[in-house]
A and B are shown apart, each in its own frame.
Chain A
Amino acid sequence: MTAPFPQTAFAPDPEAEDALILVLPKGRILGECGPVLARAGVAPAADYLDDDSRRLRFPTNDPKLDVVRVRPFDVATFVAYGAAQIGICGADVLMEFDYPEIYAPLDLGIGACRVSVAEPAGAASEDSRQWSTVRVATKYPNIARRHFAARGVHAEVVHLNGAMELAPGLGLSRLIVDLVATGGTLKANGLHETEVIAHVTSRLIVNRTALKTKPEQIGAWIARFRAAVGS
């Protein structure tokens, strides 16, 4: 059988709910989340920004809201499975996983970058329409497959978790599909961006069931974040 879930369906007082969990992505975006959280009135325990802190779950100034930080790709998973009710997540991650259980009601306008195709700067120019298949190194296998399938090319994906930029030079792949912020890393590794698949920013995401069953609570948080980004 499945692991037991909390038996909250019979809580005598419907207001006596567990604290909501807000899940944040570690790394690049976390710093940019700070001002948005502050404007939304969320003040997590001070060490949430400290990479060396061993804590993963942090209380906030609101007793009904706790913050957890996980790897950016895991934010979507936590929210999709309902382990966290709200989260901040890059649109790239949402595109890759495409969980139907996640709603993305608000563009926070932070973490702007793009998912792009890049190839070695000196690569012989080829007519990509003639390709049947192309080998692509990426941490976004679904995005890469969809992108090339839409133009009739089968993407043979080499799934890497980092250092994609090395792949073409070492003969691992013809192209890479990766997140590009400034293009500096590409250039430093002799690659150039040939195509932008999507421009992405970070979104406020919520779990579908949580929104259905706690519409007042979740709706209030969406409204606070909406006010915080001034839209």
Chain B
Amino acid sequence: MDDQAPPNPALLPAGLRDLLPPDAETEAAGVEAAMAVFAGHAYRRVKPPLLEFEESFVGGSGAAVAEQSFRIMDPDSHRMMVLRADMTPQIARIAATRLAAHPRPLRLSYAGQCVRVRGGGPGTDRQVPQAGIELIGADSAAADAEVMLVAVEALAALGLQRPSLDLTLPTLVPALLENAGMDAATQRILSRALDRKDAAEVARHGAAMAPLLTDLLLAAGPAAPALEALRRANLPATCRDLAGRLADVVGLVQRAAPRLRVTIDPLEFRGFRYHTGIALTLFAPGRHEELGRGGRYFSTDGEPATGITLYADAVLRAAIPRTERPTVFVPAGSDLAVAQTLRAAGFATLGGLDAVTDNTEEARRLRCSHVLVAGEPVPVVNHPSSAADTETDN
């Protein structure tokens, strides 16, 4: 092995990346813009740590992400710690412990980085910046609709005006299969076939359930016909309540956001498996990645809760690229008060450290958009930053 070339210092482990200018700034600003919308709806911010004890993380809703979590041993306590793969279990822990005495419903928001053992799909990142909200202690259609509408408003604040909201009922398939009295092996085969929408396998193994399952499988799509298919379907009582709640939520969401595209996939049940009611995924048309996910779950101690997490990186890849702040080259020895005025007007000022012979040329070399001439910002013609950055940094 020692005849191998030394590793290239630029190489990062799979699924991890450096964010360069302007993307790192875009991500931070985007997260703050979303957090501002959350705060505007009185979702107050908490900041849990990156690491916590395995038992408390995995014990609650974190069980669903246990296999996605990196673990390390705490040299101090000799207990296992988990590097968070998702922040929702941490918020649930905070709500049930430190904020147990706070009045319900409790509205909390959070933003932070999560790390997963594997990415969420082909070619996806292992480090995911999350920004989200949780509404804890309320079990109603109004609560479900509120988090969806706040999330859609946050996307709009980032310039994503046409997201698409896909609603699912992750507990419907298990309840239907359980109710039909199927043995575990058949349930496993059917669950898998339903997950992949493999109609042929569903027909083959569904027995008496096959027509109902096929009907609901084909109903995945725009909200109105899907709700109609659920109404028509002969569902057991518990599932009927769930379908009724879904219809109420769709009604509330469409009344508040009539132009929002809402689709329903009644038989989907993938994702982190802690959801106990309506779950949702946000997409942008023409994009292959999810912008966010959320849904109803039981918080620590069985408290009803719902929430949504936006994946800041995916959201910002789908959003309009921010226009970069104009940067003025301020030659060494210029009046600092002028630079301050320019910054107040929205420019960035790049101060020359030494005197140079040609200020315009120096401004161009340092990729400034403007150069300060006689106290005024003058645009630099053909400055390379715009062309070079858009071509290489995306």
Contacts and interface: CB of A to CB of B under 8 A. Distances in A.
A binds B: yes
Interface of A: 1-11, 14, 17-18, 80-82, 94, 99-107, 203, 207, 209, 211-216, 219
A9 B263 contact: no
B164 to A, nearest CB: 5
Contact of B162 (A9, A82, A107): A9
Name the residue in B17, B197, B319 with the highest tally of chain A Cβ atoms < 10 Å from its Cβ.
Answer: B197
B197 A8 contact: no
A14 B286 CA distance: 10
Given A5-B287, A107-B199, A212 B317 contact: no
A92 B285 CA distance: 31
Given A3-B394, A5-B287, A106-B199, 9 more contacts: A9-B318, A9-B319, A11-B285, A17-B285, A80-B122, A81-B288, A101-B122, A104-B200, A209-B288
Contacts of A6: 286
Interface in B191-238: 195-200, 217, 220-222
B265 interface: yes
A102 B263 CA distance: 18
Contacts of A3: 394
A4 B286 CA distance: 13
Contact of A2 (B20, B159, B221, B317): B317
Contacts of B217: 105
Contacts of B52: none
Given A17-B286, A106-B199, A209-B287, A5 B121 contact: no
A151 to B, nearest CB: 16
B199 A81 contact: no
B284 interface: yes
Name the residue in A11, A17, A105, A219 with the highest tally of chain B Cβ atoms < 10 Å from its Cβ.
Answer: A105
Interface size class of B (residues with CB under 8 A): 35 or more
A106 B200 contact: yes
Interface of B: 17, 19-20, 23, 121-123, 159-162, 164, 166, 195-200, 217, 220-222, 263, 265, 270, 281, 283-290, 317-320, 393-394
Given A1-B394, A106-B200, A212-B263, A99 B122 contact: yes
A203 B200 contact: yes
Name the residue in B162, B195, B222, B289 with the highest tally of chain A Cβ atoms < 10 Å from its Cβ.
Answer: B162
21 contacts: A4-B394, A5-B286, A6-B286, A8-B285, A9-B284, A10-B162, A10-B320, A14-B162, A81-B122, A81-B123, A82-B288, A100-B121, A102-B196, A103-B197, A104-B197, A105-B217, A106-B199, A106-B200, A209-B283, A214-B285, A215-B220
A15 B159 CA distance: 20
B287 A203 contact: no
A224 to B, nearest CB: 14
Contacts of B166: 212
Contacts of B196: 94, 100, 102-104
A11 B123 CA distance: 26
